[in-house]
Chains A and B, each alone.
Chain A
Amino acid sequence: MLRLTPNRPNVLDEVFDGEAVLVHLGTGRYFALSPSATEVWAALGAGADWDRLTGGVGVAEPELAAFVHRLVDEQLVTADGDLPARPDSVAADGPSFEVYTDMQDLLLLDPIHDINLDGSGWPESA
């Protein structure tokens, strides 16, 4: 059985009037989910596994599979079990999200190099 779990607390999520906004603290990317994607996200948050998703959210299986792959690719969920095959093509009106990367630069500009410790146990001056 495939279980998909929202990657909290690395992902902070908030739902407004059927539209979810997700912020991934680790990657610096954030996401605006479509209404059907928000429905899937809410079901995952309520503990739905793949079987319950396919039977419960009113989204065709190929579109659902494609969306789940995107969630995994973006580290928004963790998958316990084998993912369904990634479909070659899906309908355009399936669950989706917009990805915003403008804040990602903050993390990319802040690399961590090797740390040398001084005699007190704290990192030496850069």
Chain B
Amino acid sequence: MARVGLTVPTSPTSLRRFADQLIQEAARATAPGPRAAFSVAGRDLEVRFASAGLYAALAPAWSALSPTTGEGVTLHVVDRDAGGDPPAPPWPADAYRPRDEIDGVGDERLEVAYQLTTGTLMLWDARARTGVWWTRSAAEIPVWERAMPLRALLRWALRDAGVALVHGAAVGTDDALALLVGVGGSGKSTLALAAQQAGWRYVGDDYCAVDPATGMVAPVTSYAKVTEGTLARLPGLDGLRAPLPPSPDGKVVLSVRPAAALRLALLALPCVVQHAAPPAPAGPASTMAALAPTSLLQMPGSRPTDRELLGQVVRGTPAVTLPSGPVLGETLAGLRRVLVAG
């Protein structure tokens, strides 16, 4: 096996030159293509696609988000079918790391990541307020990317605007919202979709955008993912199946129209238990331990600013534990009581 590698570290100058050339080539590739514009927590984004195939694969996820109100950041989406190869990378072949990170490359001004499984390059230039997502082929975009597109780019772009992309589900009553946070398997999605079925306002089941300054929580996709087990418990969801194949982990993708942004009133830490118990106050450290790791460790390019934004969310919001038993309605009733009590 031939292994190619450079021996010199990536210099800031060569990385800057690479970024400038990449953005220039991506802009050229997307100039004639379709566009999607939407707003997340009041921050406007325009996604420019190099082909109709890319648009068809990714844009539906944003179809129900708020319209834009002004000029925002620009994200270029390109594949090699439409745009050819991106410029050669300035980092060595042995720089690729887990979580799509590239060793020694990237900071809050210029983030770069590369996903080996899909051959996708991601770059965010804070100075230019421009991102590039350059994949191998629109036809190879996996279903989890279609369900929650451009997650890393969105996270970086929102961070620069003071908004945190958090791993959590968000549901609420008319004017107050609970953000359900915790590791996978803690019951976030099931509770959020049970709430949606019960007529609650639903913002998201997996990722949401939180603006700590305003306390508003906004959706970032119109899709949800559930297990067959959740579908069996909530048969009303069956009619929401999206025209997408199951994800590799067997989850089914649903089209769930999200509500507009809502005011964050409560952080809830669900856990699956044998018998439901009333919500109980949770301390800020345990709340941060439920929120931060899953938000920080699942995406490339986590920086101190991301941690600071999450810390602001925790400091500004009361929190409760939410022991969830087999009867989801009981858990939701307990959650509603806390929300109503304010």
A positions within 8 Å CB-CB of B? 8-9, 12-14, 16-17, 19-21, 23, 25, 28, 30, 32, 100, 102-103, 106-107, 110-112, 114-117, 120-123, 125-126
* B283 x A16 contact (CB < 8 A): yes
**B124 interface hit (Cβ, 8 Å):** no
* B283 x A19 contact (CB < 8 A): yes
Give the chain A neighbours of B306 by CB distance below 8 A.
12
Give the chain A neighbours of B286 by CB distance below 8 A.
32
**A116, B2: Cα distance in complex, Å:** 7
* A122 x B293 contact (CB < 8 A): no
**A21, B314: Cα distance in complex, Å:** 12
**A13, B306: Cα distance in complex, Å:** 11
Contact with A along B52-92 (1 / 0, CB 8 A): 00000000000000000000000000000000011011000
**B302 interface hit (Cβ, 8 Å):** yes
**A16, B311: Cα distance in complex, Å:** 9
* A123 x B85 contact (CB < 8 A): no
Question: B119 is contacted by which of A12, A100, A110, A122 (Cβ under 8 Å)?
Answer: A122
Tally inter-chain residue pairs, CB-CB below 8 A.
107
Give the chain B neighbours of A125 by CB distance below 8 A.
119, 136
Q: 12 more A-B contacts (CB under 8 A) besides A30-B293, A114-B1? A: A12-B292, A12-B296, A12-B304, A16-B288, A30-B289, A30-B297, A32-B285, A100-B289, A106-B297, A112-B97, A116-B3, A126-B117
Give the chain A neighbours of B311 by CB distance below 8 A.
14, 16
B277-304 contacts to A, CB under 8 A, are 283-286, 288-289, 292-294, 296-298, 302-304
**B276 interface hit (Cβ, 8 Å):** no
Give the chain A neighbours of B96 by CB distance below 8 A.
112, 115, 123
- Interface residue tally for chain B (C-beta within 8 Å): 43
**A104, B311: Cα distance in complex, Å:** 22
**A8, B121: Cα distance in complex, Å:** 26
Give the chain B neighbours of A103 by CB distance below 8 A.
183, 293-294, 297-298
Given A16-B314, A112-B97, A115-B3, A120:B288 Cβ within 8 A: no
Question: B297 is contacted by which of A19, A23, A126 (Cβ under 8 Å)?
Answer: A23
**B114 interface hit (Cβ, 8 Å):** yes
Give the chain A neighbours of B114 by CB distance below 8 A.
123
* B1 x A116 contact (CB < 8 A): yes
**A107, B183: Cα distance in complex, Å:** 15
Give the chain A neighbours of B308 by CB distance below 8 A.
14
B positions within 8 Å CB-CB of A? 1-4, 85-86, 88-89, 93-94, 96-99, 114, 116-117, 119, 121, 136, 183, 283-286, 288-289, 292-294, 296-298, 302-304, 306-308, 310-311, 314-315
Can you spell out 10 A-B residue pairs with CB atoms less than 8 angstroms apart?
A12-B302, A16-B285, A16-B314, A17-B284, A19-B285, A20-B285, A107-B99, A112-B98, A115-B93, A117-B4
* A106 x B298 contact (CB < 8 A): yes
Question: B293 is contacted by which of A9, A23, A116 (Cβ under 8 Å)?
Answer: A23
- Of residues B286, B293, B294, B304, which shows the largest number of chain A Cβ atoms within 10 Å of its Cβ? B293
* A17 x B293 contact (CB < 8 A): no
Given A16-B283, A25-B296, A121:B99 Cβ within 8 A: no
**A20, B289: Cα distance in complex, Å:** 9
Give the chain B neighbours of A120 by CB distance below 8 A.
85-86, 88
* A23 x B292 contact (CB < 8 A): yes
Give the chain A neighbours of B89 by CB distance below 8 A.
121-122
B238 to chain A, nearest CB (A): 30
**A16, B283: Cα distance in complex, Å:** 9
A12 to chain B, nearest CB (A): 4
**A103, B311: Cα distance in complex, Å:** 19
